[in-house]
Structure 1
């Protein structure tokens, strides 16, 4: 069995689980596409999706690519040390999570659609910015604590 798995990996370029996961992803995507095909707003959804792809690939990716390159330049060889935890990853993960939270709650943070939100929920949008900042601080604090613990553990060994 090991020989077959090694031959498959050599021919495909990844373990069999990768192909299985990819096939499952395509199946779910196809099911969603079939469900959306009958929707009257499918054109607007497709336009939004294409716009999101373009915005990510031509605006956001170059920005965070440059930010990552700058962080690597500042950290130098400490960005990816030969032993112990990489500090750059302890900045990347909370930054990504904070950025995703910002994108999801952007209308609330910027207080867009204030009358509609108030009518629908009976609540004000003022706490959104404070809560996002607190969540961002908690993410970076947890990541820093994780880095310190991982570094301490690596030094003990």
Structure 2
């Protein structure tokens, strides 16, 4: 009995209770989506949901995992398994990494939410639904993403200056 559970944990990454709860969440989510939407073409909705899961798990997750690895290497933050060298400024580099991750995640999330508008798709659908012309989503998305990065950079610089002042007050490590 112990070996199958250990194999499941090694393969899946968690225990059977986690898998059961996750599957139950998918069932409840599917049931709620069907009930709330009242969609007569539930098969198309299910197909869209499965397609979104496959797109995320097989395409998007490897892309942003690779982007995170590249960003870690560029900033100089060791991987999770590597022991950090105390002589290197890993906390500062990790803070820099996080100050890049947060606005990138915000910009990516906005891009996915407003994807048709940002890419210029669906002008007729938008006009039919709202009786208005579509606004320039691409420019606004770029502006908001730029502002997110700017705010994050300012916060990082303020935190870095405070950290440097504290380092000078405490003196050289001894």
Instruction: Normalising by structure 1, report the TM-score.
Output: 0.71
CA shift for structure 1 position 145: 1.2
CA–CA separation in structure 2 for the residues paired with 1:57 and 1:39: 26
Aligned to 2:34: 36
Q: Deviations over 1:27-64 (max 9, x none)?
A: xx737724625642322222111111111111111111
Judged with a 3 Å threshold, the aligned counterparts in structure 2 of structure 1 residues 117 and 39 are, in CA distance, closer, same or farther, namely closer
RMSD after superposition: 3.0
Higher relative contact order (CA 8 A, sep 6+): 1
Q: Which of 1 and 2 has greater Rg?
A: 2
2:73 alignment partner in structure 1: 73
1:64 paired with 2:64, answer yes
Q: Deviations over 1:91-122 (max 9, x none)?
A: 11111111111111111112212122123223
Gaps of 5+ in 2: 1-17, 167-174
How is 1:5-154 mapped onto 2 (pairs within 5 angstroms)?
Answer: 26=25, 30=28, 33-34=31-32, 36-37=34-35, 39-77=39-77, 81-84=89-92, 86-154=95-163
Shift of the alpha carbon at 1:125? 2.6
Any unmatched runs of 5+ in structure 1? 1-18
Q: Deviations over 1:61-112 (max 9, x none)?
A: 1111111111111111489844446111111111111111111111111221
What TM-score comes out, normalization by structure 2 length?
0.65
Question: What is the aligned length?
Answer: 135
